[in-house]
Amino acid sequence: MCGILGTINVEVDDEILNLLAHRGPDDSGIERASVGSFEVYFGQRRLSIVDLSPAGHQPMNSPCGRYSLIYNGELYNHQDLRDELPATIDYRGHSDTETILHYLIAHGIEGVRAFNGIFALGFLDREAKTLQIARDPFGVKPLYYCQPAGSNKLAFASEMRPLQAILGNTTLNKDALATLLRLRYNPAPDTLYTQIDKVRPGHYLHFDLGGEQTQLREVPYLAPLPTTRVINENEAVAGYGGKIAAAVERQLLADVEVGILLSGGVDSAIVAALAQEKSTTPLKAFTIGFRGEHQEDEINDAAETAALLGLEHHVKRIDFTDFLGTMRECVRIVEEPLATTSIIPMYYLAELAAQHVKVVLTGQGADEPLGGYVRYKSELLREKIPRVLRAPVAAALGGISSRNEKVSRGAAALAETDEIARFLAAYQVFTPSEISGLIGTEDKLSKPRIAYFYELLGCQNRPAGAERMMALDTRLNLADDLLNYTDKVTMNFSLECRVPMLDLELVRYIESLPAANKLNLRGGKLIHKQYARERLPANIINRKKKGFQSPTQLWFRDGATEIQSLLLDDSSAFGKVFHLPAVREIITQHQTGYNREKQIFLLLSIYFWLDTQAK
């Protein structure tokens, strides 16, 4: 797990590379190569996890000197891939980096299709005069790029900070801001900077260095959704159990200690149970809670799970003290504003875990492929309602549910006949009219960004709307929202976070099953819970889902004065972009009983982001 930085015709030095030092405190390296008329720089900061010896040093060059690799992540099937390669290769060590280098030499960049892991990489072929950068299929690892003035220049990195240092000046992308307000995140390739883009999950970029100007080509390598196969329930559960157990075992691959991020729910509990079975000593588990009486607190539930599994449990409780200061720091770390309140507990959770281990497993990523969110049940319900009744039912729900955000979004989506527009209505944080009122710009990007993956994955071939939405969420919402902040926050503390629920073989298996194996109108993650019953007691499996959230609904009411002093300041950078009467209305709604915590959280995130850019 590392931080990578590469450029074409832009000099890289330690000062710029060390902007990624938190991602890799154990080792660093910079190399320069002349390729045709271009100068290519590769830099890397290393967090040593597999093969702690100098044999894992990067940038890594092939013995013949033709190829170079910089890589961030973990390849869990690297030993299987190494076994496929010629036995004549003389390996210097046992790192997955070396396996990747030789696999790409043998198969070209298309070899990433065989990678089961989390990664962002740059691969240089001096003889073919090509540079390729790639991001893993679910976007667990971030990868940004920019083309500074002059098309013969390029820079790419694990984070935006080095790119900002290279660019010097950046400007706000107002269209991306509208999308952020709609979706709560910016899907790749967009960021809030007009000059910086993100590589899409499951894509690589090919740069041709054979001419006078660099030529860029984007190539998807994602496989379309698998054909649905119908098998009996017992066989499906057994198959699922084998896949998830193998996923957890693969992701324990490390030459350092591995811990667990433990919530009170079933997802992290089953990951912890399977991991502990493979360990001869108690694994360390980490949980964050909240001081006071808050329903979001999961420490007691997690402690019960830890005791049952024999884990060494570490906990910490936080409160509203310096919440805004912590939030400002989180926005700095993540580099992109988000509406997801769980970023705050993740900050303290990563800080806690990093005091004890260098690697953690998490249960994150189960809800999307397995149908764990209410919006998926709403899709099933919609299909039960006759078409002629959908609009009247939606109107009735909209009239009685204005104080319940989930029901309001469900009502807005119910009558929408265009599927992408319906999904947008189910996702949206702010409505299109609210966005126009806030910044005077319409959201033009959300629909084409979703439609791109809809077509790429062949979503139209899946019979249920819920399945189509789940497939999109697994590649979009996860990548640039939940996984984005998880990677940035954990790596800020030099902590590697792995997501067994997004193991490539496991997700392929899940997506090959009919929707009925995953969800119905009573609930989601059906096969997951069926398997969990073989491993965990019923009280853990049947606990009410809390989610990994903060008690911000209450905190924003108690701290309204301080929030208003920030968001309604017309001299701030935020005040120069946003129409403040519209912002005031959002705060007032929250004070009068409407739950607008996500909206306020997102506005605060944008406030701190804009404030940072103005300095």
Taking only the tens place, the pLDDT of each residue in 60-116 is: 999 999 999 999 999 999 999 999 999 999 999 999 999 999 999 999 999 999 999
Helix (H) or strand (E) holding 219: strand 215-220
Q: Which amino acid is at 217?
A: R
> Residue 48: which of 24, 32, 19, 71 has the closest Cα?
24
> What pLDDT, in 10s, does the model give residues 309-331?
999 999 998 877 777 889 999 99
Which token pair is 502?
């997004």
If phi > 0 it is left, if psi is from -120 to 50 it is alpha, else beta; for residue 29 that is beta
Q: Which residues of the chain are in CATH 3.40.50.620 domains? A: 233-369+473-541
Q: Quick one: pLDDT band at residue 58, thresholds 50, 70, 90?
A: very high
> Residue 40: which of 118, 113, 124, 143 has the closest Cα?
124
Helix (H, G, I), strand (E, B) or coil at 448: helix
Burial 424-450 (b: 16+ CB within 10 A, else e): bbbbbbbbbebbbbbbebebebbbebb
What does the pLDDT read at residue 478? 96
Which is more confident, 615 or 145?
145
Residue 404 has pLDDT above 80, yes or no: no
Measured CA to CA, the distance from residue 252 to residue 248 in angstroms comes to 6
Q: Which residues of the chain are in CATH 3.60.20.10 domains? A: 2-220
Q: What is the CATH number of domain 2-220?
A: 3.60.20.10
What does the pLDDT read at residue 594? 82
Residue 483 has pLDDT above 90, yes or no: yes
> What pLDDT, in 10s, does the model give residues 346-356?
999 999 999 99
What does the pLDDT read at residue 213? 79
Q: Quick one: pLDDT band at residue 208, thresholds 50, 70, 90?
A: very high
What does the pLDDT read at residue 24? 94
Find tokens 């910089």 and name the residue: 70
Continuous H helices in 440-521: 446-457, 465-475, 477, 483-492, 504-512
* DSSP-assigned beta bridge partners for residue 170: none
> Residue 520: which of 371, 382, 365 has the closest Cα?
371
Asked if 510 and 213 touch (Cβ cutoff 8 Å), the reply is no
Residue 546 has pLDDT above 70, yes or no: no
Residue 390 has pLDDT above 90, yes or no: no
Q: Quick one: pLDDT band at residue 406, thresholds 50, 70, 90?
A: low
The mean pLDDT of 219-245, rounded to a whole number, is 94
**C-beta contacts of 169-175 below 8 A and 24+ residues apart:** 170/194, 170/195, 170/196, 170/613, 171/195, 172/577, 172/610, 172/613, 174/439, 174/441, 175/441, 175/444, 175/445
Asked if 283 and 260 touch (Cβ cutoff 8 Å), the reply is yes
Percent of the chain with pLDDT over 70: 94
The mean pLDDT of 536-558, rounded to a whole number, is 73
Residues in the chain: 615
> What pLDDT, in 10s, does the model give residues 264-273?
899 999 999 9
Q: Quick one: pLDDT band at residue 403, thresholds 50, 70, 90?
A: low
Residue 399 has pLDDT above 70, yes or no: no
Asked if 1 and 256 touch (Cβ cutoff 8 Å), the reply is no
What does the pLDDT read at residue 550? 63
Residue 291 has pLDDT above 90, yes or no: no
Which token pair is 391?
């609009």
Residue 137 has pLDDT above 80, yes or no: yes
Residue 43: how many CA atoms within 13 Å on its side-chain side?
A: 28
Highest mean pLDDT out of 147-151, 207-211, 410-414, 551-555: 207-211
Q: What is the CATH number of domain 233-369+473-541?
A: 3.40.50.620
Helix (H, G, I), strand (E, B) or coil at 72: strand
Measured CA to CA, the distance from residue 272 to residue 281 in angstroms comes to 13
